Chains A and B, each alone.
Chain A
Amino acid sequence: MNTEERYDEIFESAMREDPGYKLPNSFVDGVSSRIARKLALKIQVRMLWRSALILVGLTLLVFVFNYVIASYYPKLAKFTISGYFMVVVTVVVLFILFMDRVVLSYLENRHGSQLK
């Protein structure tokens, strides 16, 4: 056997040899928990969107209600809520929900995946 053929043989057998890389024993569990966290985050984002839609809807209702009262029943004006106050409340509530459900879940997701 000449050198060329011998090199080819050694090369092929070296390349086909298992390099012996190892993954941690908890690898499969890590993948499952990462998927679970991702799904949870997705659900939280979806819930945040729903909450945002409800709050924006309520704010619009308050504006419409205020307009109707001001136009047709001015005597009942003392029972209305300020539309601007409602906007502020909506923004604050949405900010809290966003921080709590999305940002915290995201950070937990990132740190959790680094720790696993």
Chain B
Amino acid sequence: MNDAELVKRVLEGNMSAFSYLVNIHQKLVLHIVRRMVASEEVAADICQDVFVKVYQKLGDFKGQSKLSTWIASIAYHTAINYLRKKKQLNEISVEDSLSCAREVNQKEVEEPFVLEEDAKKLLMQKVEELPQQYRIVLTLYYLEEFSYKEIEEITGMPEGTVKSYISRAKALLREKLTFVKQEIWG
């Protein structure tokens, strides 16, 4: 069933079609929300809210973008609004991230990464320490495989900002990984 057909069925009041829509998009919504909100319970609550909004606003979906992009955008904005309301949003300071990126670029990592699996686990842990907007662009780009253009549609960030957030996040993670590696292996 394609997006247009699914939307048409939901708008006709078919709740099974809506359940199907929830089932196929719940992972996407969960990944976006959970990357921004640490609490599992709060994230589940926000995810429910996202799908209620999807149901209420589905009539406004004109099919100009993919349904997943449209749903992702609702999920992103719902999570951002929640964080703003709770004053938990770590806005990225351009100065901070630029200086971090500069520091990281100056460092030359000589040693190879010894244990790949450990490095991966550490990376996954360290992602949680990044500012929410870095986490979200990484998730949308790598995990959900959205294009830069689609990420721009979802988050409202210009394509250039998305690209620079990804490369800064990558550099910051590399720095964190190097630091941990030096702590563990000397």
Q: Is the CB of B44 within 8 A of A27?
A: yes
Does B124 lie within 8 Å of A3, measured CB to CB?
Answer: no
Decide if B173 touches A11 in the complex (CB within 8 Å). yes
B174 touches A7 (CB 8 A): yes
User: Which secondary structure dominates where chain A touches chain B?
Assistant: helix
Q: How far is the CA of A14 from the CA of B47 in the complex (A)?
A: 24
Flag B44-63 by CB within 8 Å of A: 1 or 0 each.
Answer: 11011101100110000000
Contact flags A1-45 to B (C-beta < 8 A → 1, else 0):
001101100111111111101111001101110110010000000
Does A28 contact B44, Cβ atoms closer than 8 Å?
Answer: no
Q: In the complex, which residue of chain A has the Cβ closest to the Cβ of B43?
A: A21
* Chain B residues in 8 Å Cβ range of A31: 22, 48, 51-52, 55
Q: Are A14 and B120 in contact (CB under 8 A)?
A: yes
Cβ contact of A10, chosen from B18, B113, B143, cutoff 8 A: B113
Size category of the B interface is 35 or more
Contacts of A3 in B (CB 8 A): 109-113
Residues of B within 8 A of A32 (CB): 15, 18-19
A15 touches B44 (CB 8 A): no
Please list the residues of chain A having a beta carbon within 8 angstroms of any beta carbon in chain B. Answer: 3-4, 6-7, 10-19, 21-24, 27-28, 30-32, 34-35, 38, 113-114, 116
Q: Given contacts A14-B120, A19-B31, A35-B55, list 10 more A-B pairs with CB under 8 A.
A: A3-B110, A10-B119, A14-B123, A14-B124, A18-B143, A22-B40, A23-B44, A28-B23, A32-B19, A38-B56
